[in-house]
Amino acid sequence: MKIIDIQEIDNLISLLREMNYLVVGPTIQNGAIIYSQITTSKDLPIGYTDDQSPGRYRLIKDKKESYFNYVVGPQSWKKFLYPAIQKLYTAYFKNNKLEIEREENPTTKYAFIGVRSCEINAIEIQDRIFFGGEYQNSRYKGLRKNCFIVAVNCSKANSNCFCTSMNTGPEVKSGFDLVLTEVINNSHHFFLIDSGSEKGEEVLSKLNTREPDKESLELGNKVIEETKKQITKQLETEDLKDILLRSLESPVYDEVSKRCLACGNCTMVCPTCFCMTVEDYTDFFKTKAERIQKWDSCFTLEYSYIHGGSVRVTTGSRYRQWLTHKLASWHEQFGTSGCVGCGRCITWCPVGIDITEEATKVRRIAEFQTTSMEEI
């Protein structure tokens, strides 16, 4: 563990740029924290924080000149590693000959600055999906293996955070190259910095660092402890998978369908959602077609369409698909939960539907049914 002064962030950005990384970090765009290319620390949301609750997100002035004192915004790092729109190949059709030209893999080297613990967990979940099984997504794998992660320990939580329930935060424990803890205390403003990989160590050795004293280390720990205390939302995960899979016909889903707009926002902001669809874009003369892969959402009718109609017609069945996939099926499919407790789906739901509340309702009804059956 070392200490760097806040000015050293600019050095870090320059170093990474010199190493041919495309440096991406938090910026302010359209009234939200958006991950975008940054060239200096001035691009960071200095002095801003956010206020989030179900269906509500506001960027507000922070009381201090903080660099990273906000909670996750609408977009996740998924948009870089697994872009929303990707070309798979171009098909050429001429003289009754079909030629298929695979689109080259992207080779961008990304350096992500400001990655939170829940987000590292989300990236590691997507790793399992895209290269943990028999089939490999080499586009994703290539970008992922190239990327450099500068994590940040959260210095605040909002009312939608529940990473402590999902065992994914707020403290960054692994999966990073460098990790920062921002300490603002009276006249002090510095970062504790540590490396988590050889690549990280190499970068760290080039920064102007100093050894931390005991007090600084304590201040760093306090940041994490204070954040933990701010997390009030909880999801009881014990036996949740089995309860959800047993309760597919729970009345909760019917009730949710009265509020859910089936807009798919939750799936777009979710850092682990991976569903996609594929479309052909043909030219005017039908000689060339580009095969495009796009993010898709299980909330659309088209998603489950087979001859004769869609399988999931009611909104309740689509919500059930999403919730049970995240919190239950995912375990069977990928050996982990599909939820990291980042709270994005709650914040960005236009009507503020809360996955933790709905899952808890399913649990309570299931438990009530079990106990009343026992009593009978």
Partner 1 sequence: MDVMVPNTFKVQKFIKETHDTFTIELKSLETKNGFTFEPGQFNMIYIFGIGEIPISISGDPNKSGILVHTTRAVGTVTKEMAKLKKDDIVGIRGPFGRPWPIKEAIGSDVLLVAGGIGLAPLRPVIYHLLSNREYYGRIILLYGARTPQDILYRKELEKLRSRLDIDIIVTVDRAVKNWTGNVGVVTTLIPRAPFDPINTIAMICGPEIMMRYTIVELLKRGLSKENIYVSMERNMKCGVGFCGHCQYGTEFICKDGPVFSFKEIEHLFGKREI
Q: Where are the alpha helices (DSSP H) in 104-146?
A: 117-131, 138-146
Residue 81 interacts with partner 1 (CB under 8 A)? Answer: no
Give the range of 17-25, 84-92, 232-240, 254-262 binding partner 1 by CB under 8 A.
Answer: 84-92
Burial class of residue 192 in the structure, from the number of CB atoms within 10 Å of its CB (0-12 exposed, 13-18 middle, 19+ buried): buried
Shortest distance (Å) from residue 302 CB to partner 1: 8
CB neighbours (10 Å) of residue 262? 18
* Interface with partner 1 (CB under 8 A), residue from 32, 129, 183, 252: 129
Give the range of 205-213, 214-222, 227-235, 288-296 binding partner 1 by CB under 8 A.
Answer: 288-296
Output 245 or 263, the one with its CB closest to partner 1: 245
Q: Are 74 and 267 in contact (CB under 8 A)?
A: no
Residue 227's Cα: distance from chain center in Å?
19
What residues from 297 to 336 belong to the interface with partner 1 (CB under 8 A)? Answer: 298, 303-307, 311-314, 317, 320-321, 325, 328-329, 332-333
Residue 134 interacts with partner 1 (CB under 8 A)? Answer: yes
What is the chain's Cα-based Rg?
23
Short-list 42, 90, 48, 40, CA closest to 69: 48
CB neighbours (10 Å) of residue 178? 27
- Alpha-carbon distance of 105 to 65, in angstroms, equals 40
β-strands 276-282, 22-29 pairing: unpaired
* Interface with partner 1 (CB under 8 A), residue from 7, 167, 282, 369: 282
* Interface with partner 1 (CB under 8 A), residue from 207, 276, 292, 365: 276
- Alpha-carbon distance of 230 to 52, in angstroms, equals 13
Q: Are 325 and 299 in contact (CB under 8 A)?
A: no
* Interface with partner 1 (CB under 8 A), residue from 278, 364, 367, 371: 278
Question: Going along 32-73, which residue ranges are E strands?
Answer: 32-37, 48-53, 56-61
Output 118 or 327, the one with its CB closest to partner 1: 327
Shortest distance (Å) from residue 30 CB to partner 1: 28
Residue 125 interacts with partner 1 (CB under 8 A)? Answer: no
# residues near partner 1 by CB under 8 A: 51
- Alpha-carbon distance of 266 to 276, in angstroms, equals 15
One symbol per residue from 162 to 201: x for binding partner 1 (CB under 8 A), - otherwise; what is it?
A: ----------------------------------------
In the three-class reduction of DSSP (H, G, I as helix; E, B as strand; rest coil), residue 15 is classed as: helix
Short-list 173, 77, 81, CA closest to 130: 81
Output 39 or 277, the one with its CB closest to partner 1: 277
Give the range of 33-41, 71-79, 127-135, 354-362 binding partner 1 by CB under 8 A.
Answer: 127-135
In the three-class reduction of DSSP (H, G, I as helix; E, B as strand; rest coil), residue 201 is classed as: helix
Residue 235 interacts with partner 1 (CB under 8 A)? Answer: no
Output 22 or 263, the one with its CB closest to partner 1: 263
Residue 137 interacts with partner 1 (CB under 8 A)? Answer: yes
One symbol per residue from 98 to 117: x for binding partner 1 (CB under 8 A), - otherwise; what is it?
A: xxx-x---------------
DSSP annotation of 103: P
What residues from 239 to 268 belong to the interface with partner 1 (CB under 8 A)? Answer: 245, 248-249
Q: Are 133 and 127 in contact (CB under 8 A)?
A: no
Residue 144 interacts with partner 1 (CB under 8 A)? Answer: no
User: Can you give the binding site for partner 1, defined by CB under 8 A?
Assistant: 88-89, 91, 93, 96-100, 102, 129-130, 133-138, 245, 248-249, 274-280, 282, 286, 289, 293, 296, 298, 303-307, 311-314, 317, 320-321, 325, 328-329, 332-333
